[in-house]
Structure 1
Amino acid sequence: MSSNNYEKKVYIYDGSYQGLMTALYLAFKQREAPIKILSQTDFRDDLFYQTKTIITDIDKAAFFSEQIKNHISVQALNNIFHAYLSETEKLELYIFRYLFMGFKVGEKVDQYLTKNYVRQVQDLAHKVRHESHRLKGLIRLQEAAGGKYYAAVEPDYKTLVLLAPHFKNRFSTMNWIIHDLKREEAVIYSAEDKEWLLIDLEKDFKPELSQKETEVQDLWRAFFSAVSIKNRRNRKVQQQFMPQKYWKHLIERPGSSQNHRLE
């Protein structure tokens, strides 16, 4: 790829995964090594390099994904998708360099741990997968008035798209919403259509709970408090398995509304 300074460019894409894949496809096809790859929201005017605005092309993104699977590995494709969900600064360049190495060495790319960009992609992907796995066991769907179910979360990473298939399989006969308050977006699932959709949803949205749900929550908190043995509480171990940042949206833990104090 060309390394002449005057040819170095800043790629600007729309922030979507398909947009990033389009940008990467064009970089490899045109044999360019962008000095930066930034989403539109992260871009600031740069007087030193040319800018190139990338128009998202779903077909190009899909084609490039197939090239990664065929010439590197399915695991590599999973790694870059999960790393993308971390929303970490400079992740696009880490992914670009990871793929550049991958197209050279194939599926062995993940063995090149002496390369910082390989470690970064693997580490970010691992963190996203780990949080997704943890949230699958911590999310509590609550029955709202009208029969729909709702849960609020504030994950470190953009994990809704990883959570949705799990909850679709587990609660396929229920209509539910999982709401990421931090990013003001939600996954909404229709039991009739058997499909889920990622939508924008303001942070202040909070459905009214059904009377049955309120009663069940009160009973659960009373039970949880009653069976708790004060002398055997181990906050350090508790936080190790369930970090305190997740307690806010649990029915039985401090931070939930109408909760019994456990201290």
Structure 2
Amino acid sequence: MTAATVRGTGARRIPAPVARAALVAALIAVWQVAPMVGLVDPRLLPPPSVVGPMIVQLFGEAGFRGHLATTLLETVVAFLVSVPVGFILAILIGENKYTSDVFKPLVFFVFSIPKSIFLPLFIFAFGISFQQKVAFGVFSTLFIVMMLSFAAIESVRRDHLVVARSYGATRMQTVLRVYLPGMTPVLLEAIRVSMIFNFTGILLAEMYASREGLGNVIEQWGQGFQLDRLMATIVVIAAIAIVFNETIRALESRCEHWRE
């Protein structure tokens, strides 16, 4: 095959955004058609023609908007606590070889334990409250932030650290002028992944023991076999996760030049 043929073949490719949109449209079409032709029971998998109007109906209900606001507030508070705390702990541990050798294996050990088994302890400590959900969200997120921050620290060029220390930079100056700029591209990826753990932890805590929040209504509607409302809520949660993911991805692209 000649180079011209290869170039011509590449030129005929469908642009990636168009291909992604087509794939999503095809999945939605399959979702719509499957209950109609009897492949699945429409009571178990309501089609988009039912779920779409239900989403509009839910947003018209003050109760649902209150549950949504509660979940978003818990998620944001837990995220704003866990990310800087995890980053600072990772810097304190990862910057020094001795502390790294002592504490990093312990962090990886705790990360390997399923966090859901600790949820009853948080309920005993905080009760069924806003603080309990936030605390469990922080606990679910903290260790993944630290692990990914360790990788970000290792991505910082050693010669930059040597130069900074040679000129007498303080620890704070080294963190702000060397570590933070050097870590930013990897750290943004860490933030994007951490948000998934954070959001999942909050929803799990709401499903396990809560009087409000999206996790609570998912549990209630699942037990009550209100699958149209359940699927509509799942779509809303998926949309929130996608919006956050794409926002962080946009920030990553703006910081891409720092990889150099």
- For CA contacts below 8 A with separation 6 or more, give which structure has more relative contact order: 2
The bucket for the TM-score relative to the shorter chain is under 0.3
TM norm structure 2: 0.24
